[in-house]
Amino acid sequence: MADSTMSRPVAGPSRRSPLRLVAGQFRCANRQFWRTPVTAFFTVALPLIFLLLIGLATGNATIDGIPFAQFSTPGLLAFAVAMATFTTPAITIALARDRGVLKRLRGTPLPAWAYLAGRMASAIVTAMLSAAVMLLVAVVAFDVQVFARTAPAALLTLLVGVVAFGALAFALVALIDSTTVMETVANGAVILLAFVSDVFVMSDAMPAWLRTVGDIFPLKHFAAGLGEAFDPFATGAALSWRHLAVMGLWAVGASVVAVLRFSWAPRRRATPVRAADADAPAPAAVRSLRVVRTTRRDTATLLWGQIRYATRTLWRDPGSVFFAVAFPILLLALVPTVFGTGQMPWADMRFPQWYAPAMAVYGIAVHAFVNMPETVARARDTGVLKRLRGTALPARLYLAGRLGSVLLVAGFIVTTTMATGVLLYGIDLPLSRVPVAVLTLVVGTVSLAALGLMVTAIAPDAGAVPAVTLAILLPLSFVSDIFMLGELPAAMAALGWAFPLKHFVHAMVTVFDAAAGAGGSSPVHLAVMVAWGAVGAVVATLSFRWEPRRDSGRRRAAERGPRPPRGGVRPGHWSRGGRAFAPASVDGSGPGHSHPRRRNTTNSASARMPWRMTAARTPLASPKPG
The whole-angstrom separation of Cα 582 and Cα 559 is 31
Residue 609, pLDDT score: 39
Contacts of 198 (CB under 8 A, 6+ apart): 75, 214, 220, 223, 224, 227
- State the pLDDT at residue 561: 55
**H or E, element range at 305:** helix 299-315
Q: Which of 420, 451, 246, 238 is nearest to 327 (CA)?
A: 420
Q: What are phi and psi of 353, to 5 degrees?
A: -65, -35
**Residue 350's beta-bridge partner residues?**
343
Per DSSP, what are the bridge partners of residue 343?
Answer: 350
What is the number of alpha carbons within 13 Å of residue 512 lying toward its C-beta?
30
How high is the pLDDT of residue 518? 63
Q: What is the distance between the alpha carbons of residues 251 and 162, in angstroms, rounded to a whole number? A: 9
pLDDT at residue 585 in the model: 43
Residues (pLDDT < 70) of the chain are 1-15, 60, 203, 205, 268-296, 484-486, 517-520, 550-626
Domain boundaries, the chain: 18-261, 299-546, 569-626
What gap in Å lies between CA 592 and CA 611, rounded to an integer? 10
Instruction: Tell me what pLDDT residue 221 has.
Output: 94
Q: What is the pLDDT of residues 142-177, one digit of tens each?
A: 888 888 888 899 999 999 999 999 999 999 999 998
d(CA 329, CA 97): 32
Q: What count of Cα atoms within 13 Å lies in the side-chain half-sphere of residue 9?
A: 3
pTM here? 0.78
Question: Helix count (H) and strand count (E) of the chain?
Answer: 29, 5
